Amino acid sequence: MKIVPLIGFLILFISCKKSDSGGVTTPPASVDTTVVIQPAVDPPLANSIGFFIDDWQPKNFVAPTYKDTTGLSQASYTITVDRSSVITKVPRAISGNNANLWMSQIITEPKLMSYLTNLHPNIIRFPGGSISDVFFWNAERNKPPADVPAELTNADGSKASMPYWYGKNAESWTFSVDNYYQMLQQTGNQGMITVNYGYARYSTASDPVAAAAHLAADWVRYDNGRTKYWEIGNENFGDWEAGYRIDRSRNKDGQPEYLSGDLYGQHFKVFADSMKKAAQEIGKTIYLGAVLYDIPPQSWQTNTVKTWNAGLLPKAGNTPGYYIVHDYYTPYNQQTNANDILATAPTETKRLMDFVKQSVQAAGVLEKPVALTEWNIFAVGLKQQVSHINGMHGVMVVGEALKNKFGMTSRWDLANGWANGEDHGMFNLGDEPDGVEKWNPRPAFHHLYFFQKFLGDRLISSGMTTNPGIETYASTFTSGEVGVTLVNKTTSVHTIEIKINNFRAGSYFYWYTLAGGADNGEFSRKVFVNGKGPSGAAGGPPDYATISAYRAPTKNGIKITLPARSVVNIAVEKK
């Protein structure tokens, strides 16, 4: 039910106190009590967020240490923020990340554990991408279930010999299930688990779907309520995924050679029945996600992809708890420049949500929460993926996901592999050149750390009448402050004034400016925070958590400089 204020506004009286007689004294003359402040009213909960808001928590701003400055006297552009216009409460799952099975038993890595604790992505997905469909969570190394074939069929008909991964593998180079849970506990995060759907296709059991669903249900029992969010498979529409094509001579329940959305939808119901029953047995609630494809059908795609959503959604019906999409924003394997990379975050995020809603509406099923469980960029050739530009892009993806009311996102991934800079990892796995130390955070870590630090618990409206290429993300804290993050996508310096409607500003505002270095052309591997940069060839300042903010008085307006291709995170005190 939407609560409508009786008058539509609130007269806010500041600094009033009771008199000795129990009445209210007149406020000090310096406080203007005639200013009309519109109340901030939460809008109805979006279906696309849904239960991802259930663990929402109020957030109080903690003022950082600071260096005083005088601020600017003039500005070229104005950004208007409206504290009363709430877009959405901020789900805690909005800025998650992905673990994987080749990043080692990381609970023995105190530096990384500290970074994950400080960053606090809240959601860390596991076991990671396509490996999920060849992963046996409760198996010892090289001991898969008896009904698992020695070879799997690739899309081209060739065979892959024993491509499986094992949850009880304790070798140092991989990541076991128990250590995943230990990592979550140590860092204060929660999990999202992707179960092995591919097994339902390539199992040689008399009922392969039941075998795979039983394996997933056993994981739910073992998990014992530690994880709320579960995915049934990973990108199963793809011809790169285990189970896309099977050897029909080994199949015993009459499945077709190639997977379809219709078949996945049928199987989803079997998984859901088994996994929910397991959760009920242990008195826990879980939510199950179904894999959707993220763009309209194209002529060059496989028939599986072309018909995936149209087949899956009617067949699965309203059984899925939420819908899953992935997006790598830029064209695959192309040398995309910085302007084009940065342009994708606002347009592509909106397009993605619009497409999911269109697919759901066309299928006649209910809208459900939407989770972007993998995202990054595919740009290659210039070390784009490890750059300051990708950090800027990451801030915008999370901000745009909030504007478009996604329930959660999880960036791909924590650590990956250098590959000459074509590395999605937020941290150096230990193979980066130039003497960069293992687990050194890339610029994206610093961008997302400061963005989250200045992101409140409610997103509010903000914008510019004349916009030279700046994205804005504004929020409020329950403690009363307003946070504003500005992303300058351009190669020009801009001066900005921020005007906040329906808000009585306090005496000061604080900010951090994140800008790239002069190395590697427009794709600097470095990020500087208030002028402080890395000690080596890449990353950001080692003392990121204790760097002082800049502070300036609000009495002459909230005016600030945005360096070329920078992100500035601002917090304004309340009166």
- 351-371 pLDDT, tens digit per residue, is 999 999 999 999 999 999 999
The three-class DSSP label of residue 110 is helix
The three-class DSSP label of residue 397 is helix
∠276-371-236 over CA atoms, to 5°?
A: 75
Farthest CA pair distance, the chain:
91
Mention every residue, 6+ apart, whose C-beta is less than 8 A from residue 307. Answer: 260, 261, 262, 297
Determine how many CB atoms are found less than 10 A away from the CB of residue 68. 11
The three-class DSSP label of residue 447 is helix
Mention every residue, 6+ apart, whose C-beta is less than 8 A from residue 192. Answer: 96, 123, 124, 125, 126, 227, 229, 230, 231, 371, 373, 408, 410
DSSP-assigned beta bridge partners for residue 288? 230
452: left (phi over 0), alpha (psi -120 to 50) or beta: alpha
- Per-residue confidence (pLDDT) for residue 34, from 0 to 100: 57
- Per-residue confidence (pLDDT) for residue 11, from 0 to 100: 33
**What is the 3-state composition of the chain as percent helix, strand, coil, each rounded to the nearest 5?**
25, 25, 50
CB 115 within 8 A of CB 533: no
- Mean pLDDT of the 1-28 span: 34
Q: CA 444 to CA 427: how far, in whole Å? A: 9
Confidence of residue 201 (pLDDT cuts 50, 70, 90): very high
DSSP state of 307: T
User: Does the pLDDT value for residue 234 go beyond 70?
Assistant: yes
Cα–Cα distance list, 21 to 13, 315, 558 (Å) = 19, 70, 41
Confidence of residue 14 (pLDDT cuts 50, 70, 90): very low
Cα–Cα distance list, 330 to 304, 378, 443, 489 (Å) = 23, 5, 19, 16
Q: CA 481 to CA 483: how far, in whole Å? A: 7
> 145-182, pLDDT tens digit by residue?
999 999 999 999 999 999 999 999 999 999 999 999 99
The region of weakest confidence among 14-28, 473-487, 500-514 is 14-28
Mention every residue, 6+ apart, whose C-beta is less than 8 A from residue 568. Answer: 485, 486, 488, 511, 512, 513, 514, 560, 562
CB 231 within 8 A of CB 287: no
Q: CA 231 to CA 35: how far, in whole Å? A: 50
Mention every residue, 6+ apart, whose C-beta is less than 8 A from residue 148. Answer: 136, 164, 199, 202, 203, 204
Q: CA 222 to CA 286: how far, in whole Å? A: 13
User: Does the pLDDT value for residue 36 go beyond 90?
Assistant: no
Confidence of residue 7 (pLDDT cuts 50, 70, 90): very low
Q: Which domains does the chain have, with CATH numbers?
A: 66-89+457-574 (2.60.40.1180), 96-453 (3.20.20.80)
Q: CA 365 to CA 261: how far, in whole Å? A: 15
CB 147 within 8 A of CB 204: yes
- Write down the pTM of the prediction: 0.93
> 271-297, pLDDT tens digit by residue?
999 999 999 999 999 999 999 999 999
Residue that is written with structure tokens 């204790």 in the block:
546
User: Does the pLDDT value for residue 47 go beyond 70?
Assistant: yes
Nearest Cα to Cα of residue 366 among 375, 374, 357: 357
- Mean pLDDT of the 388-416 span: 98
Q: What is the chain's mean pLDDT, rounded?
A: 94
